[in-house]
A = this chain, B = another copy of it.
């Protein structure tokens, strides 16, 4: 079912410092910061040859990463995003296997403009997983 690793998301308390770490210390290609008000985050994309790292910083009230940063004030890996060909088929198969989909189970339009779902970390080895239809 899952295809490519679309990205690894890292929640960071200071986006400018995190961008400098990846650009200057690790020598990677980084994007300009991009506000995603519908998703409550500002994102910097780190472009690696085979995948992306997304540096996420809270934007506005009620950001979905605010509680994570309270628990992990220095930042940390927030989720892994895997690509799927058909997100509804993936959801139905996962639910049939007993895995929990977060929220109401309906795909939302994610930060890349494509349908996404999140899966419960307790069913996936302690890691939050995003599925993105590509």
Q: How many residues of A contact B (CB 8 A)?
A: 39
Given contacts A4-B48, A48-B3, A50-B4, contact A76 B26 (CB under 8 A): no
Name 16 extra pairs, CB < 8 A, besides A5-B50, A10-B127.
A1-B26, A2-B26, A3-B48, A3-B49, A4-B49, A4-B51, A5-B53, A21-B123, A21-B124, A21-B125, A48-B82, A53-B80, A75-B126, A76-B125, A76-B126, A77-B127
- A24 at interface, CB cutoff 8 A: yes
Binding site for B on A (CB under 8 A): 1-5, 8, 10, 12, 18, 21, 24-28, 48-51, 53, 55, 72, 74-77, 80, 82, 93-94, 97, 99, 121-127
- Residue of B10, B50, B76, B125 near A10 (CB, 8 A) is B125
Contacts of A1 in B (CB 8 A): 26-28
Cα(A24)–Cα(B5), bound, Å: 18
Does A8 contact B5, Cβ atoms closer than 8 Å? Answer: yes
